[in-house]
Amino acid sequence: MSAVRLFGLVLRRLAVASWNVILWTARAWRAVLVCLVIGNVLFIADLEAAGVIAIAVIPASSVVRAVWDAVSPLTYEAMLGAPLRRRGWRHRVRKEWKDVARRCGLIWPWADDRRRSLPRLLRVSTSGNTLTLRVRAAVGQTVDDLTGTIEAIATAFEAESAESRRVAPGVVELDLTMCELLHEPTTPRMPYELETEAVTVGRRADGSAWRLQLAGRHTLVVGRSGAGKGSVFWGVAGNLAPSANAGLVRLWGIDLKGGVELSVGEAMFSSVAIDEQAALGLLNDLHRVIVERQAAMRGRSREFTPSPGDPAHVLLIDELAVLTGYASRDVVNQGTALLKRILTQGRALGVMVVAFVQDPRKETVGMRELFTQTIALRVASASETRMVLGDGYGDLAPAHRIDRTMPGAGYVVRNDGVVERVRADFWSDELIRSVADRYPAAREARFADHGAAPGELLRLPVPELTVFPAAGRRDPRTPRDPEDPEAA
């Protein structure tokens, strides 16, 4: 670092520290007045040293805090800054709740009992950057009345975003995100754990890890071009790569955009299809796995547990609509029939599907209701949000309002109905290649061909198909620029 830059950095920190001393002292003006009174009393009593200490205690504590923040901001934030800030949030809510509720339209002036004319604030708690309010509806109100004003309440308390959930009859918890932690993109580390049931693909709004459940689920990820579907795609594939290398998982991939996406990390996959006919053959082989596993488990077990000789199967489909809506009529009919059978039969047998699409309409994704888990990245409108997450989530999970500069950000609805704001980690091409080189698919899992004639199980008259094995490497594509939000 040059001397000029170092000098500028020191000046900037001194300026910030000086401003903090003034700001924190001014905010404690009541304590300053009390100390002044006490100090003057001590002066009158000829206790000059004690008087000086009493008068200077507040400014001196502000100076200590400012110096600590300037020298070691990480330790200051963890030990003092964050606890004080959370205490301030709680104090403000308790002090202003009645006025905020009244201004947000939650007062019921015709109630017989004035004490019950406003929603009751049962509890206020904080965790990380989240402020949680537990509220009981007033007489004559419903849970929908409370959740309908969540945006107004969040604005009143200067929250970045808000989520709500019903926890008891007439009781709602409002989670207000006070500091946005998802603006800055993050990159994952090299995976090393053997995971088959869930993978960490990013982080939630409170900074905790976002674990995407895979076992027993079929997942549909919807997002416009540049919304960050690739981040979720490689978050799943990359984190499953160690298990694929160990033979616990077999990855199947369909990329009908010419293989541009999958070619970067193709070695992780046991089988890859990059054209329509190859995709039909791959789906047919995966359905054959289901039929064989049904026969093996029938009368023995209802729960599948992956093992090196009997792996879980995960099918990742990049741009599902090409297969189910935009291909030729024969391919659409056959592909839809095969995929519906896989979605309805494979979940309990260790066969999971993770599909990605831009257009969630029924015309393009006719089996949308067969996906048991949906993720909404940035979409075009509130109606698309409702298509993806369900009726009633247009306001609770406004995926259509996600900023373009936040690829990989989206909303997930948990099984208990709680809405979570999440953002997937950005996977660079270099990291994808490194993971593929380190964890190629287990050799015994690779396919030389597909054995039986494609279409045999469904008796569909399709021509001879070719599925491209993942052993070869295609020419690498141009690496994505991490600074370009449209690249994720």
Please state the three-class secondary structure of 166-203 as a single string.
Answer: EEECCEEEEEEECCCCCCCCCCCCCCCCCCCCEEEEEE
Q: Rounded mean pLDDT of 255-271? A: 90
Distances (CA, A) of 275 to 195, 278, 281, 452, 463: 30, 5, 10, 19, 13
Containing structural domain, residue 23: 12-71
Q: Any binding-site annotation on 95?
A: no
Regarding whether 291 and 161 lie in a shared domain, the answer is no
The share of the chain scoring above pLDDT 90, in percent, equals 33
Is 229 among the annotated ligand-binding positions? yes
Higher pLDDT, 91 or 309: 91
Give the separation between CA 260 and CA 62, rounded to whole angstroms: 56
Task: Look over the chain and give the mean of its residue pLDDT values, rounded to a whole number.
Answer: 83
Q: Within this chain, do residues 43 and 97 fall inside the same structural domain, yes or no?
A: no
Note the pLDDT of residue 8: 79
The larger pLDDT score, comparing residue 341 to residue 451, is at 341
Residue 76 covered by a domain: no
Q: Which pLDDT score, from 0 to 100, does residue 469 have? A: 42
pLDDT tens-digit map of 31-70: 889 999 998 888 888 888 888 888 889 889 989 988 888 8
Do 369 and 319 lie in one domain? The reply is: yes
Q: Is 136 in contact with 122 (CB distance < 8 Å)?
A: yes
- Domain-located, residue 288: yes
Q: Is 98 annotated among the ligand-binding residues?
A: no
Is 325 a known ligand-binding residue?
Answer: no
Q: How far is CA 111 from the centre of its chain?
A: 42
Q: What strands lie across the sheet with 171-177, from one edge to the other?
A: 120-127, 130-136, 171-177, 161-168
For residue 123, pLDDT over 90 is answered with yes
Q: Are residues 16 and 116 in the same domain?
A: no
238 within a domain of the structure (yes/no): yes
Are both 47 and 126 inside the same structural domain? no
Instruction: Give the pLDDT score at 12.
Output: 84
More confident residue, 181 or 58: 58
Lowest-confidence range among 185-189, 256-260, 383-387, 479-483? Answer: 479-483
Within-domain flag for 215: yes
Residues 469, 367 share a domain = yes
Residue 188 falls within a domain, yes or no?
Answer: no
Which of 72-86, 119-133, 234-248, 349-363 has the lowest average pLDDT? 72-86
Confidence bin at 449 (pLDDT 50/70/90): very low
**Per-residue pLDDT reduced to its tens digit, 185-242:** 888 999 999 998 999 999 988 778 999 999 989 999 999 988 999 999 999 999 999 9
Q: Which residue has the higher pLDDT, 344 or 205?
A: 344
Same domain, 66 and 88: no
Beta strands across the sheet bearing 209-213: 209-213, 198-204, 419-424, 409-413, 373-376, 219-222, 351-357, 312-318, 249-255, 271-273, 468-469
Last residue of a domain, one of 71, 91, 122: 71
Structure-token pair, residue 157: 């308390």
- Which residue type sits at 484? D
- Say if residue 301 carries a ligand binding annotation: no
Any known ligand binding at 230? yes
Residue 5 belongs to some domain of the structure: no
170 assigned binding-site residue: no
Model pLDDT, residue 450: 38
Domain with residue 116: its CATH number is 3.30.980
Kindly state the average pLDDT of the residues 132-148. Answer: 88
Q: Are residues 85 and 212 in the same domain?
A: no
pLDDT > 80? residue 6: no
Q: Please say if the pLDDT value at position 474 is more than 70.
A: no
Q: Are residues 362 and 449 in the same domain?
A: yes
Instruction: Specify the pLDDT at position 367.
Output: 85
Instruction: Tell me: do 51 and 90 sit in the same domain.
Output: no
**138 annotated as a binding-site residue:** no
CATH code, domain carrying 278 = 3.40.50.300
In this structure, are 322 and 454 located in the same domain? yes
Give the confidence band of 475 by pLDDT, cuts at 50, 70, 90: very low
pTM strictly above 0.75: no
Q: Give a yes or no: residue 456 inside a domain.
A: yes
| 98 and 62 in a common domain | no
User: Could you tell me if residue 315 is inside a domain?
Assistant: yes
Question: How many domains, the chain?
Answer: 3
Residue 13 or residue 457, greater confidence: 13
Going by DSSP bridges, is the β-strand pair 219-222/351-357 parallel, antiparallel, or unpaired?
parallel
Q: What is the pLDDT of residue 306?
A: 85
